[in-house]
Amino acid sequence: MRKGDTQEIRRLNRRAILQSLRQAPATRADLARTTGLAKSAVSRLVEELLEEGLLEEGEVRPGELGRPGVLLRLKPQARYALGAELGVEGTVLLAVDWRGEVLWSQEWPHPKEEGVEVRLEALKEAVRPRAEGALGLGITLPGVVAGPRLLFAPNLGWRDLDLSLKGFPIPVAFENDAKASALSEVFFHGEENLAYVVLSTGLGVGVVAEGRLLRGTHGAAGEVGHWTGGGRAPCRCGRRGCLETELGLQNLLAHHRALGGEAEDLDTLLALAERGEEAAMKALAHLGEALGRFLANLAVAYDPARVVIGGRAAELFPYLEAPLRAGLRKAAFLPVHQNLPVYPSAYGHLAPAVGGASLFLARFFELGGLWAESPRRNGGPYEEVALGFRHGFGA
């Protein structure tokens, strides 16, 4: 056997053990059973992983035939990655440990006219003191991302930018916000068929079909906010009648004002909804119903098993849910789509940044925890985490 083969087998076996422990704590005997590896191999690899500080031993559990076993689990915070969202309203930066726990997060607003250089510079400053020990930084944007290029982000007014960065102290990868959010669901919950809807100022969807993220030829798959319809309202992309002009949350505020409401921003609207203000409830019901129809369309486009609602709309979900389900029931094509499971994102508005961090966390598991300092030695450029999935994502 060549040396490369031995290394590859070691990687695969370590990956199998780590993946098994991601599901639940287990004894060495459990691991031998779930991974199909010999007990001696499991013991050797577990020792290795304990020494590297990736695992920890817990309580003793009585085993089969009365032989007790020590429960092993992934050590909390043993590894973590940074994620950032360059959003329309501001920047979010956070750290997520390899078990999915958000360790810390910070957010800052920025003036609308601020360009990409200024925003990346501010991000770099914020990252520098917190980069030590992080696997990498995944940055998400509300636009079409293709490798290190941003083709178009209408709501930021950015077009055709080279994002290959110098000066970040850790490896950096870029991804569209909805796609990164969808990937984080795959990574943390193992979804095979999923549509992740990000609805804030803009509307986008990240689709995972049969375990793979849909990107399309130019990375534009999922930019459904720019489906054109019969409307005439101008869109930030320069055209008219895009779906986003109807479903985007700026239109929710406009509708609220048209109904006599006075909310200037979403926080105010949310507070009004909590008090049951009539105009707020009406505007939210209207949006919910329209979202339900939109989901009926998504169901025939992609037929997901589950839809997650993220972005600022996740916070509005309690008010959107009933009209959304009613709208979906009315518009569904197949009877089975009438009850398509729809949930708000568990990470709320932090989801895109968590998705950014998960690009690196997924890569770490993929490599069986054999992480090297150099991107090349980790199997290629980090973009392949987001773009290639040569071994199948989270497999």
Angle formed by the axes of helices 278-302 and 249-258, nearest 10°: 140
Tokens read off for 169: 């102290």
Between residues 248 and 261, which has the closer beta carbon with respect to Zn ion?
A: 248
Instruction: Report if residue 243 touches Zn ion, rule: CB under 5 A.
Output: no
For residue 149, the surrounding DSSP H or E stretch is strand 149-153
- Report the C-alpha gap between 371 and 135 in whole angstroms: 8
Contact between residue 141 and residue 150 where contact means Cβ atoms under 8 Å apart:
yes
- Report the C-alpha gap between 94 and 357 in whole angstroms: 8
- Measured from the CB of residue 244, what is the shortest distance to Zn ion in angstroms? 6
204 phi and psi angles, rounded to 5 deg: -145, 165
Instruction: Report if residue 120 touches Zn ion, rule: CB under 5 A.
Output: no
Kindly state the DSSP code that residue 210 receives in the 8-state scheme. Answer: T
Provide the 3-class DSSP secondary structure of residue 94.
strand
Between residues 235 and 279, which has the closer beta carbon with respect to Zn ion?
A: 235
Between residues 245 and 358, which has the closer beta carbon with respect to Zn ion?
A: 245
Tokens read off for 372: 């090297």
Chain centroid to Cα 121, Å, comes to 23
Instruction: Report if residue 156 touches Zn ion, rule: CB under 5 A.
Output: no
Residue 372's contacts (CB-CB under 8 Å, 6 or more residues apart) are 378
106 phi and psi angles, rounded to 5 deg: -140, 150
- Measured from the CB of residue 346, what is the shortest distance to Zn ion in angstroms? 29
Q: Which stretch binds Zn ion (CB under 5 A): 80-88, 167-175, 233-241, 279-287?
A: 233-241
Between residues 221 and 242, which has the closer beta carbon with respect to Zn ion?
A: 242
* CB neighbourhood size of 120 (10 A): 20
Between residues 150 and 269, which has the closer beta carbon with respect to Zn ion?
A: 150
The residue type of 184 is S
Between residues 165 and 220, which has the closer beta carbon with respect to Zn ion?
A: 220
Residue from 145, 235, 281, 354 binding Zn ion (CB under 5 A): 235
Between residues 160 and 210, which has the closer beta carbon with respect to Zn ion?
A: 160
Contact between residue 356 and residue 172 where contact means Cβ atoms under 8 Å apart:
no
Q: Which stretch binds Zn ion (CB under 5 A): 40-48, 144-152, 242-250, 380-388?
A: 242-250
* Nearest to 306, CA basis, from 203, 206, 204, 222: 206
Q: Which stretch binds Zn ion (CB under 5 A): 77-85, 163-171, 234-242, 349-357?
A: 234-242
CA distances from 264 to 249, 287, 291, 306 (A): 12, 17, 22, 33
- Measured from the CB of residue 25, what is the shortest distance to Zn ion in angstroms? 48
- Measured from the CB of residue 224, what is the shortest distance to Zn ion in angstroms? 10
Between residues 197 and 328, which has the closer beta carbon with respect to Zn ion?
A: 197
- Measured from the CB of residue 245, what is the shortest distance to Zn ion in angstroms? 7
Instruction: Report if residue 31 touches Zn ion, rule: CB under 5 A.
Output: no
Instruction: Report if residue 242 touches Zn ion, rule: CB under 5 A.
Output: yes
- Measured from the CB of residue 225, what is the shortest distance to Zn ion in angstroms? 7
Q: Which stretch binds Zn ion (CB under 5 A): 95-103, 160-168, 237-245, 257-265?
A: 237-245
Between residues 154 and 288, which has the closer beta carbon with respect to Zn ion?
A: 154
CA distances from 341 to 77, 90, 194, 346 (A): 32, 30, 10, 14
Site string for Zn ion, 181-200 (x = CB under 5 A): --------------------
- Measured from the CB of residue 227, what is the shortest distance to Zn ion in angstroms? 9
- Report the C-alpha gap between 25 and 46 in whole angstroms: 13
- Measured from the CB of residue 150, what is the shortest distance to Zn ion in angstroms? 16
Instruction: Report if residue 226 touches Zn ion, rule: CB under 5 A.
Output: yes
* Nearest to 88, CA basis, from 168, 156, 161: 156
Between residues 44 and 159, which has the closer beta carbon with respect to Zn ion?
A: 159
Instruction: Report if residue 237 touches Zn ion, rule: CB under 5 A.
Output: yes
Binding-residue total with Zn ion (CB under 5 A): 4
Chain residues binding Zn ion by CB under 5 A are 226, 235, 237, 242
